[in-house]
Amino acid sequence: MPIALNRAPDAAPVPPFEHSYAGLPGHFYAEIPPTPVREPTLLRLNQALAAELGLDADWLAGADGVAMLAGNRLPDRVRPIAMAYAGHQFGNFVPSLGDGRAILLGEVNDRQGRRRDVQLKGAGRTPFSRSGDGRAALGPVLREYILGEAMQGLGIPTTRALAMVATGEPVFRDAAEPGAILTRVAASHIRVGTFEYFARRGDREAVQRLADYLIARHYPELAEDDNPYAALIAAVAARQGELIARWLLVGFIHGVMNTDNMALSGETIDYGPCAFMDAYDPNQVYSSIDRYGRYAYGQQPSIGLWNLTQLANSLLTLLDDDPEQAKTKARSALDAYGKAFEPAYYGGLRAKLGLLDTQQSDKSADDELVTELLGRMAQHRADFTNTFRLLSDADPDAPATLEPVRALFGKPDAFDEWTTRWRTRLAAQQEPNAERQARMRARNPAYIPRNHRVQEVITAAVERGDLAPLEPLLTVVSRPYEEHPDLIDYRRPPEEHEVVRQTFCGT
């Protein structure tokens, strides 16, 4: 039976939605309309993303567009669905999760011909909501908007927010909070947990249908491979290895790296209790629900491989009829993770220090130099972002230019000892200092969405209805490698009374 929707008449500016995922069998999703809200108000429209998607920003900001972004009134061509998936949450398998508060409106092809999902997050209850209300609070919506734009500015693959809409209705968590809906744009929402959902049910046909769909949508070059499913594991593993390396290089901590939060497109997805590190600490945890540090900053590479192993387990029956051969092929495919992660991470660290990889350079010695710096940063709680950015601005042969970096270390002598070795290594490159500085500035952001600044935005919006603090923060994190002289205070680490020690999930 077709679902009943309050539909709006089609008009030229309406997004030209397609529904390739909804073309999969019906047990891949549930058809469900968003639950209308009382008083939708557009809080912010991402003009740049709207242009990238080829959408009419004026229409989106108008009454009909806001009604769609709130889920109150949908164009005829929309076929809203909630996707089914399972997942390992903190290592424990949950057989049925699914979109409990997110509804996929459909897909659009952007100006570069890339298919992109458009999803409403916080759009009401679905068959996967369990005991949840299907709604989102304004604070987490703001966090996801900010973090997505920051990652985009850093050049890291990410989902992004097209819009934020206030619902005019409260959401009850620990207390009543303003409700909001986020319009999320993703390359797709297929997760490791999507495969687990079908594999754990013994539904080999569904696993193969999903794998074929994933290949066609994201990895079409694999279709003619001798073993496309082993090649798929390897391709996904390589993308994830590089993605997680790039997280580490900017101090990002996802916070909830469950298998249902790993997108197989290679994008960062599900910005819950995520955060960027201030002082460098490999054991840093911000997430209030990560009580044992499973997803700490330094644990992320190993967790990435653990998650991918669950994907490989889900695809074993497609790899080979012989179970032992299938496991061998899976292990071989997973090797692609380390092969992508290690050069991306260690090469990225060398680049952050301005070290050129040449035939004459000794990578093991360079990696030791980098590791030594990180160890001293951790010991003296030096700010991660500012240490590397200030090194970018320094001239190793002019001691005064190193003073701002020295000041970040509790005992500057520890930095001085390391600097002597760094200076010697740079001298061997025989490169003009200005060229080295330019390269380093392109690798080391001056700005990140520091936790206290994000919290400042959330507090102002939730407690006072004031969105003014959002704009300067978006300005700097959207162009984090540039200098913003009027907003230089956004480079400042938090004072003791400003330190955010925990971040929270929105569910």
Query: 487 by DSSP, 3-state: which?
Result: helix
Q: Are strands 136-137 and 160-172 parallel, antiparallel or unpaired?
A: unpaired
The token pair that represents 497 in the structure block? 């009374």
**Under a CB-based contact definition with an 8 Å cutoff, are residues 256 and 271 in contact?**
no
**Under a CB-based contact definition with an 8 Å cutoff, are residues 349 and 249 in contact?**
yes
Active site residue 260: yes
**187: number of Cβ within 10 Å:** 20
Element (H, E) at 16: none
232: which strand partners?
none
**Under a CB-based contact definition with an 8 Å cutoff, are residues 250 and 154 in contact?**
yes
Query: 331 by DSSP, 3-state: which?
Result: helix
The token pair that represents 166 in the structure block? 């206030």
Handedness of CA 214, 189, 245, 198 (dihedral sign): negative
Query: One of 117, 260, 290, 383 is an active-site residue; which one?
Result: 260
Alpha helices in 101-227 (DSSP H): 138-154, 192-199, 204-218
**Under a CB-based contact definition with an 8 Å cutoff, are residues 277 and 210 in contact?**
no
Element (H, E) at 106: strand 102-109
Picking from 91, 93, 44, 39, the residue whose alpha carbon sits closest to that of residue 67 is: 39
182: which strand partners?
121, 164
Instruction: Give the CA count within 13 Å in the CB-facing half-sphere of 100.
Output: 13
Distance CA 380, CA 72 (A): 53
Written as one letter, the residue type at 225 is D
Picking from 122, 127, 124, 119, the residue whose alpha carbon sits closest to that of residue 142 is: 122
Picking from 315, 162, 294, the residue whose alpha carbon sits closest to that of residue 235 is: 315
Question: Which residues are known to be catalytic?
Answer: 260
